Amino acid sequence: MSIREKPACEMNDRRMWPILIAVWATFLVYGLFAAPLPAVNEPHYLCKSKHFWQSDWCDRDFFLVSPNAHTVFYATIGGLTRFVSFTQAAVIGRIVVTFVLAWGWTRCLSLMFFAPWSVLWSAWIFLVFSACGNFSGEWLVGGVEGKVPCYGFLLAALGDAFRRRLMLGAAWAGLAVSFHPVVGIWSLLAFTLSGIIEQFIETTRNKRRLAESNTLNEEPINVKANLLTGAGQGPFSFPGSFLVPCLILIVLALPGLIPVYRLLTEAVSAETRRAGTYIQVYYRLAHHLDPMLFPLRSYVCYALLVVIWLCSCRWEGRTIAKKRLDLIVFWSVIFALAGILIGWGPRPPVRMPFYDQRMNLLKFYPFRLADVLIPIAVAVGLVSVLERTAFNATSPKTWRGFITHPLWILTLIFVAGLWRAHLSSETNRYSREDRADWLDVCAWIDKHLPPNALVQTPTNGWAFKWFARRAEYVAFKDCPQDAAGIVEWNTRLNFLQKWFEKNYEDEFYSAGELKSLRQTTGLTHLLTDRLGPLELEPIYRNGTFQVYDLTSLDSPAN
């Protein structure tokens, strides 16, 4: 192996620990700017975790009692909710998952560069891309949820696979699948296909070299044999050594795969399964799954990133690990392009040929792997070029060299990325004044409503269970992941919308109408902002919100 193909250094090298800590701190700081507590999905994951460990907590909440899709997350990191508050669990959880991500990032990307600190610079550039947007709504740093440790373990698995440590690589890959089966399986598929292609290319090249050696009669017999039997340097060079790693991977992946298998094979009618898939793909998660809803800006920006990445693939200074990573990125791009072709067509979607089959394929998120891997590959490519050119062109030993060193420009770009992330962060839909009123009314509910209360919140309610610690009848954000649950979620939303519209024809909600709503839904309380007027006095009110006790209508007099 030539010096140009050697990795910067190994993880057991003491030089890598400061870099790991720096990458970890970078991810934590970026998360604070991009996703102030609680981040958009943290109430979703951590409230589900609390119910997982304490089944009587908010046991009337429709979403919390639905089947679990991320059991490993709830059972591990989600266990923090047993001992500390949601905010504390989110902070500790972020520390843990970003460390796993930083560890995997360093373990994998240290093979891509020739200067150890380039691992940190690549993280900076990647986060700048993240601050500017994404393709299908996939993000990597910004909160605590299952996909963050999943990507960390995946990167670690790649790092060990590239080092031909198949046992460790299989273990990390199995954990990745357990924490997030969709991301994990797409990644394993990309790795497997890239390995097959790499092995085919290597075998073809060796056969050609063997034919040339036969013609020239220059190579010894044992060298010729090695070319045919073991000269490949890829991770698939020794098929016989895969049995134990595959067993390790399967065993560690099963805790995450079994719950997903149960969701996919639940005993429901074909109509319910079809309706659930339609609602998921073209309504609730359309911003992740329907390529015709992705903004033009995303297509343009990612097309530019792909062009930059393809140009970096032509650079002869790539390490062997970078070439293998590029093969995996290539397959992630193929998956995304296939997703675009599958999802592109006339609207409404039922007009598309093979509509059912295309809809069922889209629900498996074909875009999310490329959404993350393309910016990572571009960041690696840019830093690889910089460490060979600009970083060496200017000496930081002099004052002028120190001021004009490209690292300062990179630092300013990263700071600008942090500011951009902060400006584009979305913690809730409320203004500052409405947010204060929302926190106030949630605190009042937490203190005064009975633990078994069932509340319907406003359409733009935010993290109600996180702050008020009471069950919700239905919330747009909290959609189950089983087909029957998705259909029921949609039914509840439609029922409420029609009820509010129908009973507002006289611009007044009477006590009888509210009593009928309670009898139909089992609601105990209404939390409203603009809804009304109601023939019922609120039990609490602030500048924006009102709380109504529907149980007061149970008496015969009402």
Q: Give pLDDT tens digits for 45-64.
A: 999 999 999 999 999 999 99
Using alpha carbons, select from 88, 91, 93 the residue that is nearest to residue 76.
93
Instruction: List CB contacts of 511: < 8 A, sequence separation 6 or more.
Output: 535, 536, 553, 558
Least confident segment among 244-258, 310-324, 390-404, 429-443: 390-404
Q: What is the 3-state secondary structure (H, E, C) of 68-115?
A: CCCHHHHHCHHHHHHCCCHHHHHHHHHHHHHHHHHHHHHHHHCCCCCC
- Each residue's pLDDT tens digit, 332-375: 999 999 999 999 999 899 999 999 999 999 999 999 999 999 99
Classify residue 183 as exposed, middle or buried by CB count within 10 Å of its CB (0-12, 13-18, 19+).
buried
| Rounded mean pLDDT, 268-279 | 95
The position carrying tokens 């590959």 is 377
Strand 454-456's sheet: what is its strand order?
471-472, 454-456, 525-528, 546-549, 540-541
d(CA 214, CA 486): 65
User: What pLDDT sits at residue 286?
Assistant: 94
DSSP 198: H
Q: Reduce the DSSP state of residue 481 to 3 states and report it.
A: coil
Average pLDDT score, the chain: 88
DSSP letter at 553 equals G
pLDDT > 80? residue 555: no
**Distance separating alpha carbons of residues 548 and 175, to the nearest angstrom:** 46
Helix (H) or strand (E) holding 322: helix 320-343
CA dist., res. 229 & res. 433, Å (int): 71
- Domains of the chain: which residue ranges? 3-231+239-398+420-424, 432-553
The H or E element that residue 12 is part of is none
Residue 218, phi-psi category: left (phi > 0), alpha (psi -120 to 50), beta (remainder)? alpha
Long-range contacts, 82-89 (Cβ 8 Å, 24+): 82/50, 82/53, 82/54, 86/38, 86/42, 86/43, 86/46, 86/47, 86/50, 86/466, 87/37, 87/38, 89/46, 89/49, 89/144
Instruction: Provide the 3-class DSSP secondary structure of residue 526.
Output: strand
**Token pair of 274, please?**
């079809």
Task: State the alpha helices, DSSP H only, in 117-180.
Answer: 118-132, 147-162, 166-179
- pLDDT tens digits, 101-123: 999 999 999 999 888 889 999 99
Q: Give first-to-last CA distance, the chain, whole Å.
A: 86
Residue 324 token pair: 């293998």
533 C-beta neighbours (distance < 10 Å), count:
8
Q: Which of 5-14, 189-198, 311-320, 523-532 has the lowest mean pLDDT?
A: 5-14
CB atoms near residue 440 (< 10 Å) = 16
Antiparallel, parallel or unpaired: β 454-456 and 471-472? parallel
229 versus 503: the higher-pLDDT residue is 503
Which contacts qualify for 215-223: CB closer than 8 Å, 24 or more apart?
none
CA 395 – CA 517 distance, rounded (Å): 74
Question: What are the φ and ψ backbone dihedral angles of 140, each rounded to 5 degrees?
Answer: -120, -40
Encode pLDDT of 482-502 as tens digits. 999 999 999 999 999 999 999
**Secondary structure of residue 456 in the 3-state scheme:** strand
DSSP helix/strand/coil, 333: helix
* Residue 534 structure tokens: 């109601």
